């Protein structure tokens, strides 16, 4: 096992990783920008190192500074969390070159799955169902013919994309040139790579993802699915497990397919294979080679600590369980509580004057916030994640309603009122929603 882990991240995920390390008896190093000097993960770490000014490009994305922090603290491993450098293949390689373990997949798998075109090709070769679409990059010259072959509407996507950027829908041949030009410009600006591909656009799909974990030696298991269809501008805000749309046979079938594919890849660590689900069929979107923001809902229904498993596997240990050991109990829902206006979604950074998270049986709050803490304006607006668990989905929804009513954050605006309204919606109570539901709801007068 590692002696000391440096956590190359901030906020609630950095604190989450610290807790797992401490339970394993591992010392922790927190890195931070000058804007995060008073952050909870810095206060609770065994050691801390300031790695630069507030801008992420000069701190949390500054590989030389993070490497220097590893060297001066003698850290023998780095956990990247999610975001920032979590899926940067070159970062993983540099650490390996310096004899420092990267708590995550190999750089080869990060690079492979980071290219959406190659990832889709690999998934298809491993027997994972994929969305009908182009078999490689699409050019201006062949876009129209390919779109006609696939059938409108089509979705134009950036090969290096993520977070909904570089994606445009063309519902007719007349809309295709604008969609293509817009997606190309967005991709170039966001990722420095304007390579595009094209898929059939599904009208009313759900977003279902399968949590997997592999030991890098040909063994892998799945931990069921998460429902992530409540999204705004392709950004998830509410996740739950299990999905209200799937039955046990569907869950077992797609889970087994994904676990077998991940095992054949020789994949190491945790990962998530994401699908669109419509009409009883699954269609591969992408594989995220990192710990997901929404991982706690899987932990709540399985009792398996995904971060501890990540660390153990990265240290060379085998999986601590096999597929037959995985049991699902109850239902879990996660709400991402952001420092945003609940109607306009404008960021609301500033000082938290009161902070009282909910508690009680089946309630978990992953957050680094506290009364007196100032939410910086330099990073994403996530304050924390409220996760609740119940014996049934209805029990879970009632517990979520109660927990939201207890939650007090003052001094800034938050999205708590949005979730309080969502939990009262009949469609949410019935699980009758798709990836477009939330945006339709938000457009209502």
Q: What rounded mean pLDDT belongs to the chain? A: 95
CA distance 439 to 20: 36
Higher pLDDT, 386 or 163: 386
* 26 vs 135 pLDDT, higher one: 26
265 phi/psi in degrees, rounded to 5: -70, -20
User: Which pLDDT score, from 0 to 100, does residue 134 have?
Assistant: 86
Residue 368 tokens read as: 């680094």
What does the alpha-carbon distance between residue 33 and residue 120 come to, in Å, rounded to a whole number?
37
- In angstroms, rounded to a whole number, what is the distance separating the alpha carbons of residues 376 and 396? 32
Q: What is the pLDDT of residues 385-439, one digit of tens each?
A: 999 999 999 999 999 999 999 999 999 999 999 999 999 999 999 999 999 999 9
Collapsing DSSP states into helix, strand and coil, what is residue 221?
Answer: strand
Backbone angles phi, psi at 30, to 5 degrees: -100, 130
Which has the minimum average pLDDT: 51-65, 176-190, 305-319? 176-190
pLDDT digits (tens, 9 = 90+) for 198-247: 998 898 999 999 999 999 999 999 999 999 999 998 899 999 999 999 99
Q: Which CATH class is domain 206-443?
A: alpha beta
- pLDDT by residue (tens digit) across 262-299? 999 999 999 999 999 999 999 999 999 999 999 999 99
Tokens matching residue 255:
């889970």
Determine which of 128-132, 163-167, 357-361 has the lowest per-residue pLDDT on average.
Answer: 163-167
Please state whether the peptide bond connecting residue 242 to the residue before it is cis, i.e. omega within 30 degrees of 0.
Answer: yes
Any idea which architecture 4-101 has in CATH?
Answer: 3-Layer(aba) Sandwich (3.40)
Are residues 54 and 39 in contact, defined by beta-carbon separation less than 8 angstroms? Answer: no
Q: How far apart are CA 60 and CA 75, in angstroms?
A: 17
Chain segment 310-355, per-residue pLDDT in tens: 999 999 999 999 999 999 999 999 999 999 999 999 999 999 999 9
Q: Can you tell me the distance from the alpha carbon of 34 to that of 50, in angstroms, rounded to the nearest whole number? A: 7
Helix axes 306-314, 11-23, angle to 10 degrees: 70
3-state SS class at 73: helix
Local confidence band at 169 (pLDDT 50, 70, 90 cut-offs): very high
- Residue 3: CB atoms within 10 Å: 11
Q: What is the pLDDT of residue 175?
A: 94
Distance CA 144, CA 386 (A): 45
- For the chain, how far is it from start to end, CA to CA, in angstroms? 56
Domain ranges of the chain: 4-101, 132-200, 206-443
Kindly indicate the confidence band of residue 159, based on its pLDDT and cuts at 50, 70 and 90.
Answer: confident
Bridge partners, residue 33, by sequence: 52
% helix, strand, coil for the chain, step of 5: 35, 30, 35
pLDDT of the residue at 369: 97
| pLDDT, tens digit (0-9, with 9 covering 90-100), for 114-144 | 998 899 999 999 999 998 888 789 988 899 9
Question: How many other CB atoms sit within 10 Å of the CB of residue 28?
Answer: 24
Q: How many CB atoms lie within 10 A of CB 71?
A: 11
DSSP SS3 for 355: strand
DSSP string, 223-269: EEEEEEEEEETTEEEEEEES-TT--HHHHHHHHHHHHHHHHHHT-EE
Q: What is the C-alpha to C-alpha distance for residues 239 and 232, in angstroms, rounded to an integer?
A: 13
Q: From CA 144, how far away is CA 148, in angstroms rounded?
A: 6
Provide CB contacts within 8 A for 125, sequence distance 6+. none
List, by residue number, the catalytic residues.
290
Q: Tokens for 116?
A: 């959406």
Adjacency order of strands within the sheet including 165-170: 165-170, 154-162, 196-200
Give percent of the chain above pLDDT 70. Answer: 99
Strand partners, 389: 332
Return all residues near 45 (Cβ < 8 A) that are at least 6 apart: 7, 18, 28, 29, 30
| pLDDT above 90 (res 14) | yes
Average pLDDT value for residue range 34-54: 98
The H-assigned helical ranges of 51-151 are 63-73, 89-97, 107-114, 116-125, 143-150
The second-level CATH assignment, the architecture, of 132-200 is 2-Layer Sandwich (3.30)
* Model pLDDT, residue 163: 64
Residue 80 confidence (pLDDT) above 90:
yes
Mutual orientation of helices 89-97 and 107-114 as an angle, nearest 10°? 170
Predicted TM-score of the model (pTM) = 0.90
Cis check: omega of the bond before 217, within 30 degrees of 0: no
Q: Whole-angstrom Cα distance, residue 396 to residue 348?
A: 29
In the predicted structure, residue 174 carries a pLDDT above the cut 80: yes
Buried b (16+ CB within 10 A) or exposed e, 397-410: bebbeebbeebebe
The model's confidence at residue 190, banded by pLDDT at 50, 70 and 90, is confident
What is the structure's pLDDT at 251? 95
Strand pairing of 77-79 and 4-7?
Answer: parallel
The answer on pLDDT for 156 being more than 90 is: yes
Residue recorded with tokens 């020789």: 266
- Residue 396, by phi and psi: left (phi above 0), alpha (psi -120 to 50) or beta? alpha
Please state, in angstroms and rounded to a whole number, the distance separating the CA atoms of residues 156 and 165: 11
């Amino acid at each position: 096992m590692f002696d000391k882990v440096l956590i190359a991240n901030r906020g609630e995920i950095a604190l989450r990783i610290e807790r797992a390390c401490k339970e394993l008896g591992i010392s922790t190093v927190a890195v931070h920008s000058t804007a995060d000097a008073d952050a909870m993960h810095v206060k609770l770490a065994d050691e801390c190192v300031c790695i630069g000014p507030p801008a992420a490009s000069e701190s949390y994305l500054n590989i030389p500074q993070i490497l220097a922090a590893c060297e001066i603290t003698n850290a023998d491993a780095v956990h990247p969390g999610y975001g920032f450098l979590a899926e940067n293949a070159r970062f993983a390689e540099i650490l390996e070159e310096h004899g420092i373990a990267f708590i995550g997949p190999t750089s080869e798998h990060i690079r492979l799955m980071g290219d959406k075109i190659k990832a889709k090709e690999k998934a298809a070769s491993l027997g994972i169902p994929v969305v009908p679409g182009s078999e490689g990059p699409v050019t201006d010259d062949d876009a129209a013919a390919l779109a006609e072959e696939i059938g409108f509407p089509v979705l134009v996507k950036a090969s290096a994309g993520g977070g909904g950027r570089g994606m445009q829908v063309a519902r007719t041949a007349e809309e295709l040139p604008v969609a293509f030009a817009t997606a190309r410009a967005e991709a170039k600006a966001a990722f420095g790579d304007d390579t595009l591909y094209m898929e059939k656009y599904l009208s009313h799909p759900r977003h279902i993802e399968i949590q997997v974990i592999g030991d890098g030696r040909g063994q892998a298991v799945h931990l069921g699915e998460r429902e992530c269809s409540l999204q705004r501008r392709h950004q998830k805000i509410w996740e739950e497990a299990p999905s209200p749309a799937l039955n046990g046979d569907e869950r077992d079938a797609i889970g087994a397919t994904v676990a077998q594919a991940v095992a054949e890849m020789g994949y190491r660590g945790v990962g998530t294979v994401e699908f669109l689900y419509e009409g009883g069929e699954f269609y591969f979107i992408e594989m995220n080679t990192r710990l997901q923001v929404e991982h706690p809902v899987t932990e709540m229904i399985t009792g398996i600590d995904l971060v501890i498993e990540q660390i153990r596997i990265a240290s060379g240990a085998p999986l601590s369980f096999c597929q037959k050991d995985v049991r699902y109990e109850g239902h879990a829902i996660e709400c991402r509580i952001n420092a945003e206006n609940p109607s306009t979604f404008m960021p609301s950074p500033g000082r938290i004057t009161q902070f009282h998270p909910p508690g009680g049986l089946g309630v978990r709050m992953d957050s680094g916030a506290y009364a007196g803490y100032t939410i910086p304006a330099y990073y994403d607006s996530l304050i924390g994640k409220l996760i609740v668990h119940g014996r049934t989905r209805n029990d879970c929804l009632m517990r979520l309603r109660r927990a939201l009513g207890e939650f007090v954050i003052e001094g800034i605006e938050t999205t708590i009122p949005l979730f309080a309204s969502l939990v009262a919606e009949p469609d949410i109570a019935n699980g009758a929603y798709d990836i477009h539901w939330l945006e339709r709801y938000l457009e209502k007068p």
